[in-house]
Chains A and B, each alone.
Chain A
Amino acid sequence: MYAYDDFDADFVRARVAEFREQVNRRIDGSLTEDEFKPLRLKNGLYLQLHAYMLRVAIPYGTLNSRQMRQLAMIAERWDKGYGHFTTRQNVQFNWPKLKDVPDILDALADVEMHAIQTSGNCIRNVTADHFAGAAADEIEDPRPTAELLRQWSTDHPEFQYLPRKFKIAITGSPNDRAVTKAHDIGLRMVRNEAGEPGYEVIVGGGLGRTPMIGKTVRDFLPKADLLPYLEAILRVYNLAGRRDNKYKARIKILVHETGTEEIRAMIEEAFAEQKALFQAPPADLVARIEAAFAPPDFDNTQSLAFDRAQADDPVFRSFVETNVTEHRNPAYGIVSVSLKPVGGTPGDATADQMRVLADLAERYGHDELRVSHEQNIILPHVRKADIPAVHAELKKAGLATANIGLISDIIACPGMDYCALATARSIPIAQEIATHFDALKLERDIGPMKIKISGCINACGHHHVGHIGILGLDKAGVENYQITLGGDSTETATIGERTGPGFAAEDLIPAIEAIVETYLDLRHTADETFLDAYRRLGARPFKDAIYHEHRDNARAA
């Protein structure tokens, strides 16, 4: 893992001291709210529906046990005993008091963490594949690149006041677990014909009000050209991106309105200028970053414990089926810990659970944890022989839900239970869906199914790329839910199609059930996933099922 050098540490401490001063000035009345708001947002502090919310950056979702324990301490000491892990691989505290926030930021700085650039029109926390450095399908670990981008983008003077926020995601695997096609810039690590490493560069993806799949502007960008090329993209966007209309200010709109060819030409022209002026990052810095992500010392001792536990314990077997992914080292597994217990709040973990996860990482996981954009926690390097013990500990902590990738592994944004921008609630819908399908005992029969729920058009819950997407709306003062189908967040990314009129909360679950039943009836074989069946069948049978059977219940959109 990357460790701060003196410059990083001093920089973060200085920012906390500066913010402490700003909070004091707000409290003593020398700053108005209008003056203070941009300053607090620069430090990740929002004012939400019921309270302040502090968004803490977890760079590319990677953290160690010491950091996780500190998050637990913060949750207990200054919040209500839990934290919320988000689709941006960050963590949010929902109840801090204004006067405590500088102390929280100091506590974060103690473990090399901060809340800088988790808000505002700047380059946000860079996200990456949560299996980075561990996945069997990986070409190369994307985290050294992500860390380089973090250092490059943090406090970058030219990119602090972009037209809008800017999000970069990176994957090192052909199987995209980082949703690269729905980011302002998506980077996919590839090799050219000569076997040299580089990046496919995708620009102009994004969800929200105008969802778009990004366009590839470079099939192969040599590694050494990355920073000048990204500077070129950002420069083009900073100059040509729309500032007249907040809803049209993202780079996806610029790409769409300008056209991919034209944008590519503009980027290449800016790149030619940039490259000539650009100094490559010092080799010792790059070497230091790469060394920080060297694979851990794997222990290849063979053991039969894993196979034996699977043979003996069906509960463990089903946990392995869903929650353990192939590791690049055959003696190891990647353990995904679900933060989606049936009926729970997706992404929430209590302080005690965070400490259990920290202990497990320290004891069995080479001291590494990851936050996935699907709001789960990953132990990326666990010896297979230790997975039964890890499972037993997770069970005791209420963390052993075996549902990764299944219908109850739902992404749900905070919605109107917390978020000031929401038009409806998301969390109770996720809770109801999980509880309903748990009662039907259909989850494993249904197989891979991604339900994603957002409480407003901003789409933090990624509903556009859910196999079943749900968007909460306000229809004349009543919560109403619109369904999209066929979305996909992977390398075959697709924006889901709206089925038609939305549903009142009480009619939504029957509609979801009708969609699932239609799939179960019409799939060719049990191996045909919902997404494959939808792509083969199209929307019609699903629409018929939800609108014919529930026509009376559908509300006009």
Chain B
Amino acid sequence: MARQTHPQIVTANDLFEGDVIYLTASGDWSRDHGDAAVAHDGEEAERLLGIANAQPGRIVGAYLADVTIGPDGRPQPVHFREAFRTRGPSNYFHGKQAEA
């Protein structure tokens, strides 16, 4: 397993809507990146991914994404791809950002 340098969260796409979702501490899903449950070590990350993958009737393509912890204590994306996924496309004000 690659050496983990950041805390991680689990993200996926919703099976029905297709939109980007995040696994929360209760094992449910939120559309808000800040609600994601944060794993601080590899073992916890695998445990969270296992919870996600046990819900194939609800989600597609779960994976672990690196985060940092913001001043408000909530996770923030590290990579720009994940930052875009929290908002939606940048060419129009639509997608997630318009519905927030």
| B35 CB within 8 Å of chain A | no
B90 engages A427 (CB within 8 Å):
yes
Instruction: Tell me the smallest distance from the CB of A86 to a CB of chain B, in Å.
Output: 15
- Contacts A33-B56, A47-B60, A428-B91; is A98 near B16 (CB within 8 Å)? yes
Mask of A17-39 contacts with B, CB within 8 angstroms, 1/0: 00000000011010011000000
B15–A431 CB distance below 8 A: no
Contact B91 A431 (CB under 8 A): yes
Question: B91 near A47 (CB under 8 angstroms)?
Answer: no
Given A417-B91, A428-B90, A431-B91: A99 and B56 within 8 A (CB)? Answer: no
Contacts of B13 in A (CB 8 A): 47, 51
Q: Check B92 against A345 for contact (C-beta < 8 Å).
A: yes
- Bound complex: CA of A474 vs CA of B79, how far in Å? 10
* Other contacts beyond A96-B18, A98-B18, A416-B81: 14, CB < 8 A: A33-B60, A50-B19, A50-B85, A50-B95, A95-B18, A345-B91, A345-B92, A416-B84, A417-B84, A425-B90, A474-B81, A477-B78, A477-B80, A478-B80
Does A209 reach chain B (CB closer than 8 Å)?
no
A32 to B59, CA, bound (A): 11
Q: Is the CB of B16 within 8 A of A27?
A: yes
Expressed in whole angstroms, the minimum distance between the Cβ of B53 and any Cβ of chain A is 10
User: Is B16's CB under 8 angstroms from A477's CB?
Assistant: no
Q: Is A78 an interface residue (CB 8 A)?
A: no
User: Could you tell me the distance in whole angstroms from the C-beta of A23 to the nearest C-beta in chain B?
Assistant: 10
What is the 8 Å Cβ interface bit string for chain A, positions 73-102, against chain B (1 contact, 0 not)? 000000010000000000000111111000
Contacting residues, chain A, for B19 (C-beta < 8 A): 50-51
Contact with A along B69-100 (1 / 0, CB 8 A): 00000000011110011001111101110000
Smallest Cβ-Cβ distance to B59: which chain A residue: A33
Q: Contact between B18 and A50 (Cβ–Cβ < 8 Å)? A: yes
**Contact between A51 and B56 (Cβ–Cβ < 8 Å)?**
no
Instruction: Pick the residue among B60, B79, B89, B96 that contacts A417 (CB under 8 A).
Output: B89
A479 beta carbon closer than 8 Å to chain B: yes
Q: Does A49 reach chain B (CB closer than 8 Å)?
A: yes
A547 at the interface (CB under 8 A from B): no
Set of chain A residues within 8 Å of B57, measured between Cβ atoms: 29
Question: CA–CA, A481 to B35, complex, Å?
Answer: 33
CA distance A32 to B60 in the complex (A): 10
- Contacts A49-B84, A50-B20; A32 near B56 (Cβ below 8 A): yes
Q: How far is the CA of A497 from the CA of B17 in the complex (A)?
A: 42
Query: Can you list 14 residue pairs at the A/B interface with Cβ under 8 Å?
Result: A29-B56, A32-B56, A33-B61, A50-B18, A50-B19, A50-B88, A50-B89, A51-B13, A51-B18, A94-B89, A417-B84, A417-B89, A425-B84, A431-B91
Complex Cα distance, B85 from A95, in Å, reads: 14
Which of B13, B20, B79, B96 has most A Cβ within 10 Å?
B13
Tell me how many residues of A have a C-beta within 8 Å of chain B: 31
Pick the contact of B85 from A49, A427, A477 — CB < 8 Å? A49
Report chain B residues within 8 Å CB of A417.
Answer: 84, 89-91
Contacts A29-B57, A477-B78 given; indicate if A427 touches B17 (C-beta within 8 A).
Answer: no
- Find chain A residues with CB under 8 A from B84 CB: 49, 416-417, 425
**Which residues of B have CB within 8 Å of A237?**
none
Chain B nearest CB, measured from A85 CB (Å): 15
Bound-complex Cα distance A427 to B84 (A): 13
User: Could you tell me if A50 and B80 are in contact, using CB atoms closer than 8 angstroms?
Assistant: no
Residues of A within 8 A of B89 (CB): 50, 94, 417-418, 427
Give the complex CA separation of A378 and B20 in angstroms. 36
- How many whole Å from B87's CB to the nearest CB in chain A? 9
Within the complex, the shortest CB–CB distance from B51 to chain A, in Å, comes to 17
Q: Give A99 to B20 CA distance when docked, in angstroms.
A: 17
Taken together as a complex, chains A and B put the C-alpha atoms of A422 and B89 apart, in Å, by 13
Taken residue by residue from 1 to 39, chain B's Cβ proximity to chain A (1 for < 8 Å, 0 otherwise) reads as 000000000000101111110000000000000000000
B20: which A residues are within 8 A, CB to CB? 49-50
A52 beta carbon closer than 8 Å to chain B: yes
Are the C-beta atoms of B90 and A97 separated by less than 8 Å? no
B80 and A99 within 8 A (CB):
no
| CB-based contact B91/A51 at 8 Å | no
Measured in the bound complex, the distance between the Cα atoms of B85 and A88 in whole Å is: 26
Least distance between A244 CB and chain B CB atoms (Å): 25
Cα–Cα, bound, A417→B78 (Å): 17
Least distance between B22 CB and chain A CB atoms (Å)? 13
Find chain A residues with CB under 8 A from B18 CB.
Answer: 47-48, 50-52, 95-98
In the complex, what distance in Å separates the CA atom of A32 from the CA atom of B13? 15
Closest 3 CB pairs of A and B: A417-B89, A52-B18, A51-B18
Q: How far is the CA of A99 from the CA of B89 in the complex (A)?
A: 23
Bound-complex Cα distance A33 to B13 (A): 12
**A80 CA / B97 CA spacing, docked (Å):** 14
Distance in angstroms between the alpha carbons of A417 and B91 in the assembled complex = 7
Chain B residue at minimum C-beta to C-beta distance from A52: B18
- Find chain A residues with CB under 8 A from B81 CB: 49, 416, 422, 474
Task: Tell me the complex Cα distance, A48–B20, Å.
Answer: 10
- B17, B79, B96: the one contacting A477 at CB < 8 Å is B79
Q: In the docked arrangement, what's the CA distance between A245 and B96, Å?
A: 37
Our pick among B17, B61, B78, B79 for the contact of A51 (Cβ within 8 Å) is B17
Instruction: Specify which chain A residues have a CB less than 8 angstroms from the CB of B56 in the assembled complex.
Output: 29, 32-33
State in angstroms the CA–CA spacing of A47 and B60 once bound together: 9
A478-499 contact mask (Cβ, 8 Å, vs B): 1 or 0:
1100000000000000000000
CB–CB A50/B60 < 8 A: no
